[in-house]
Structure 1
Amino acid sequence: MADQDEDLIPSQTAGYKVGQKKTLEEYNSLDANDESLKKWKETLGLGTPASGPVDDPRRVVILEIALEVPGRTDVVLDLSTPELLENVKNNPFTIKEGVEYRMKAKFRVQHEVVSGLKYLQVIKRKGIRVDKTEEMIGSYGPNPNSEPYEKKFMAEEAPSGMIARGHYDAKSKFIDDDGITHIEWSWSFDIKKDWD
């Protein structure tokens, strides 16, 4: 049986080849006269000075991940500091059985472009894997306005019924095409008959 770390290896797409890594300056000088490429680079935040605090070497800063349920306040997991990350691990939250929800992430990209950012999640119950999620987030450049990016994932439905109710452990990570893990953490939740 695979452990959670092996479960958090991203799938490979046949025939997909990761492009050569480039600096912001290299991207800015690429095909300077190509108008469509210029617009694409602007959407990535290229053409502006590299952003991010000099004393913070992280390329991707995951600020939070949230559970969005129509008609309810979001359940937000603050991941912005190591202390808050540890807090998430020790404080399970409740999901009502059968409810439709979607996950969303808020993050910043700083210093350079990140390509093929993915979210991976493995959920286990009593040590047995019950779900694996792999969500492509995309490629992003540093945002010159320091505004965080937000990515909403596909809508899902929580399992329901007496057998589905109980405690679940999860492990998640954000990884890019270069194989860099930007953050990895453990968390847990309980599926109950109601929100209580």
Structure 2
Amino acid sequence: MDGDKRAHEEEAGPSSVIDKTKQELTEKITDTFHDASEDEEEEEVNGHNKNGVFVPGPLLSLKEQIEKDKEDESLRRWKEKLLGCLESDLHGQLDPEVKFHSIGILSEDFGEIVTPLPVEENQNGRTLFSLREGSRYQLKLKFSVLHNLVSGLTYSNTVWKGGFQVDQSKGMLGTFAPQKEPYVYALKEDTTPSGTLARGVYSAKLKFEDDDRRCHMELKYLFEIKKSS
């Protein structure tokens, strides 16, 4: 049996052994980083795609939404309050715009670090933060919605280490109306993995889309997980 096993490995060649080792290493890193609860969250976000394709209704301008049923005074006032009516936005533009002002990182390690958005072209892919292994953190966003309602705003955050994807989380932010004051939204709290394999520099891509698959922001960044002191 041992002779057959050695013969099989020699026949497979050294490259296949290296590929197998890389795969096993990636699986170990993924296991330490991935939180099982994120699978449940992803199923909730994408659940409507399993039973059928969600087709949003026709898009109306903010002006049309305000003026519809305008003879009903109480309904009109309710709509204005609900839709965050802004005089400068009543020009019939259909497509909503989400303008991101900053991204913050909240952590017990350092409090809060805020990075203005958008980042400069030569800083795209910058290291946003460093965290100790096993520490809790949250991403906090500040953004404005312009021109129209943005429906079903979602985020996805994909993480790589050493060229291998080790994690992907998705979530629903919700539907937002235009308003004068920016929205502040904190994503779900997460915990960095622990262990030798978990330490090092990671690359990530944070992306925001709405129900119509419009991409409102795509941010590439780096972060580091350090040994707990």
Specify if TM > 0.5: yes
In the other structure, the counterpart of 1:104 is 140
In the other structure, the counterpart of 2:87 is 49
What runs of 5+ residues in structure 2 fail to find an aligned partner? 1-44, 90-94
Sort the Cα spacing of 1:115 and 1:104 in 2 relative to 1 into closer, same or farther, 3 A: same
Q: Residues of 1 paired with 2:168 and 2:74: CA distance?
A: 40
What stretches of structure 1 move > 4 A for 4+ residues in a row? 34-38
Report if the CA contact (8 A) 1:68-1:102 is conserved. Answer: yes
- What are the superposed Cα offsets for residues 8-46 of structure 1, whole Å, 9 maximum, x if unpaired? xx9462343322211001211234438578546524313
Per the normalisation by structure 1, the TM-score is 0.77
| Number of corresponding residues | 176
Per the normalisation by structure 2, the TM-score is 0.67
- What are the superposed Cα offsets for residues 41-81 of structure 1, whole Å, 9 maximum, x if unpaired? 524313x3245xxxxx981111112211247321223213x
Q: What's the % identity of the aligned pairs?
A: 31
Report if the CA contact (8 A) 1:50-1:112 is conserved. Answer: no
After TM superposition, the structure 1 = structure 2 runs for residues 176-187 of structure 1, keeping only pairs within 5 Å, are 176-187=210-221
In the other structure, the counterpart of 1:121 is 157
Please state which structure has a larger fraction of its residues in strand.
Answer: 1
Secondary structure at the aligned position of 1:163 is classed as helix
- Relative contact order (alpha carbons < 8 A, sep ≥ 6): 1 or 2 greater? 1
Q: Residues of 2 paired with 1:156 and 1:120: CA distance?
A: 14
Report if the CA contact (8 A) 2:155-2:208 is conserved. Answer: yes
In the other structure, the counterpart of 2:207 is 173
Secondary structure at the aligned position of 1:89 is classed as coil
What runs of 5+ residues in structure 1 fail to find an aligned partner? 1-9, 52-56
* Amino acid in the other structure paired with 1:45: G
Secondary structure at the aligned position of 1:13 is classed as helix
* 1:140 paired to 2:179: no
* 1:73 paired to 2:107: no
- What are the superposed Cα offsets for residues 109-140 of structure 1, whole Å, 9 maximum, x if unpaired? 11222111111110011111111111211111
Q: Residues of 1 paired with 2:191 and 2:66: CA distance?
A: 43
* Amino acid in the other structure paired with 1:64: S
Q: Residues of 1 paired with 2:159 and 2:148: CA distance?
A: 32
In the other structure, the counterpart of 1:192 is 226
Please state which structure has a larger fraction of its residues in helix.
Answer: 2
Max radius of gyration: which structure? 2
